[in-house]
Amino acid sequence: MELRNFKAYLCNKGGLSDFDYQKIQSFITTKKIPKGEYLLQQGHICQHFFFVETGLLRMYALNEDGRENILQFATENWIVSDRGSVYFNEPSSYYIDAVEDTLVVMLDDDFIKEVSSINSEFREKNERLLQNHIRHLYKRISQLLGVSARTRYLDFVAMYPDIMLRVPQWMVASYLGITPESLSRVRKALADENFNPNN
C-alpha cells in the first residue's frame, strides 16, 4: 500500500531521505477505520499516535450533560492522540472516532526509536512538531476563554479550510464552544459581507 501523505510528511517534515523511508517501511502499521468507529474510547489507554493518511477523525470529551466537546479534528496529514494517556499510561478521558472512512498510520515509541536510529535528526524535528502542536493548543484555549465567536470561526476556517464541506454544522459549533444557532448567526453575518469560507 502506497502511503503518499505519510511518506511526504516524514521526508518533508521529518528530514528523511527516500532511502531512509525504504528502510523503515517494514515498521509501518496501518489501520482502516470505518465511519463511526472508534480508535480510542474514554477509560481505555491510548497506545499510539494516529497519522491520517486519508479521511477524517475527531477527538472529543463528554461534559456532565453528556454533550460532546470536540477538541480536535484531524484531516489528511494531521496527527491526533491523547498524549497524556500515551506518555503516562493513564486511562484516557477522550474519544477518537472516524467522521469519514479513514486510513491511519499507527505510530508508537518503538517506531519513533527505529526512525531515529536511521536518521538522527528525526527525533529533534519530531520534538519541534510536538512543541508546535502544544503552541496551537495554548492558542485554542486562549481563544475559547476570550475571543469572539466570529474570530474563532475565522481561525477555524483558516486551520481547516475544507472542513465545512465534510462535517455537520453542530460539530463545528462544538469545536468552537458555541451553539449551532450562534454559529449560524456568525456565518450569516459573514455571508452578508460576501465572505466565502471555501474560497
CATH number at residue 25: 2.60.120.10
Name the domain boundary from 102, 119, 145. Answer: 145
Strand locations in 65-110 (E): 68-74, 79-80, 95-98, 102-107
Reference 175, options 57, 87, 86, 92; nearest CA is 57
199 and 167 fall within a common domain: yes
Number of domains in the chain: 2
Name the domain boundary from 145, 165, 188. Answer: 145
Strand locations in the chain (E): 29-33, 38-40, 49-54, 57-62, 68-74, 79-80, 95-98, 102-107
CA 53 to chain centre: 11
List the pLDDT tens digit at each of the 199 positions of the chain: 789 999 999 988 888 889 999 999 888 999 999 999 999 999 999 999 999 999 999 999 998 888 899 999 999 999 999 988 998 999 999 999 999 999 999 998 888 888 888 888 887 877 787 787 778 777 878 877 788 999 999 999 998 888 889 999 999 999 999 999 999 999 999 988 877 665 5
103 and 172 fall within a common domain: no
167 and 189 fall within a common domain: yes
40 and 110 fall within a common domain: yes
Name the domain boundary from 123, 145, 167. Answer: 145
- In this structure, what C-alpha cell is assigned to residue 159? 486551520
Q: What is the pLDDT of residue 193?
A: 86
89 and 176 fall within a common domain: no
134 and 195 fall within a common domain: no
Reference 71, options 81, 79, 60; nearest CA is 60
46 and 133 fall within a common domain: yes
- Residue 35 and residue 52: Cα distance in Å, rounded? 14
- Classify residue 19 as exposed, middle or buried by CB count within 10 Å of its CB (0-12, 13-18, 19+): exposed
- Residue 65 and residue 69: Cα distance in Å, rounded? 11
114 and 43 fall within a common domain: yes
44 and 60 fall within a common domain: yes
CA dihedral for 49, 50, 53, 58, sign (positive or negative): negative
189 and 121 fall within a common domain: no
125 and 153 fall within a common domain: no
- Helices 169-176 & 149-159, crossing angle to 10 degrees? 110
Its domain, for residue 101, covers 4-145
Asked if 151 contacts 195 with a C-beta cutoff of 8 angstroms, the reply is no
| The pTM of the whole model exceeds 0.85 | yes
53 and 133 fall within a common domain: yes
Taking only Cα atoms into account, the Rg of the chain, rounded to an integer number of angstroms, comes to: 18
